[in-house]
Amino acid sequence: MPFVKRDQAGKITAIYNQPMAGGTDELPANDPELLAFLLAGDGDRDPDSKLDLVESDIGMVRVLEDLINLLIDNGVIRITDLPEAAQQKLLERGALRSKFGYLGTLFASDLEDEEPVAPDAKDFM
């Protein structure tokens, strides 16, 4: 979980991977305020380019998850070969995907000929 530093008005001013002296708040990685801070323009970067990068990262997460599952299914690796934190994340994602898996069947006949589309980062804000 990321840790954030806030200004007097309560706005995020910095993000850390561990608590820092002077006070930091822990936030979930998908917190809307945190995502907004990450996507906000900072003068040096184009906000649209950052959004493209986030959308690309979201798509790559699915690719990596599928690759890991393929390696496990083919016996190349075992889930227990992975660090405990990685095991937990894979199990959580698998549970979420099966929980919402029925959504794909609701529209399957309409979408059979369409290419799969990575989720839009805006959907997570």
Calculate the average pLDDT of the chain: 77
Residue 125 has pLDDT above 50, yes or no: no
- 105 shares its domain with 53: yes
Give the count of beta carbons closer than 10 Å to the beta carbon of residue 79: 14
State which amino acid sits at residue 76: V
52: Cβ contacts below 8 Å, ≥ 6 apart? none
For residue 14, give the nearest of 23, 1, 5 by alpha carbon. 5
Identify the pLDDT of residue 71.
Answer: 95
**Dist. CA 25–CA 20, nearest whole Å:** 9
Per the structure, the count of domains in the chain is 2
Q: What is the pLDDT of residues 90-110, one digit of tens each?
A: 999 888 888 777 655 655 554
- Check residue 45 and give its pLDDT: 56
- Each residue's pLDDT tens digit, 15-37: 888 888 877 888 888 888 888 88
The mean-pLDDT minimum among 4-13, 46-55, 82-91, 105-114 falls in 105-114
Residues 52 and 108 grouped into a single domain: yes
Residues 12 and 67 in one domain: no
Residues 26 and 53 in one domain: no
70 with 112, same domain? yes
**Among 5-9, 18-22, 38-42, which is the least confidently predicted range?**
38-42
Does residue 21 sit in the same domain as residue 77? no
Distances (CA, A) of 20 to 3, 5, 16, 31, 66: 8, 8, 8, 19, 35
Which residues form the domain of 114? Answer: 47-124
Instruction: Say yes or no: 34 and 54 in one domain.
Output: no
d(CA 41, CA 22): 26
Give the number of residues written for the chain.
125
Q: Which of the four pLDDT bands, split at 50, 70 and 90, describes residue 111?
A: very low
Are residue 60 and residue 97 in the same domain, yes or no?
yes
Q: What percent of the chain lies above the pLDDT cut of 70?
A: 71
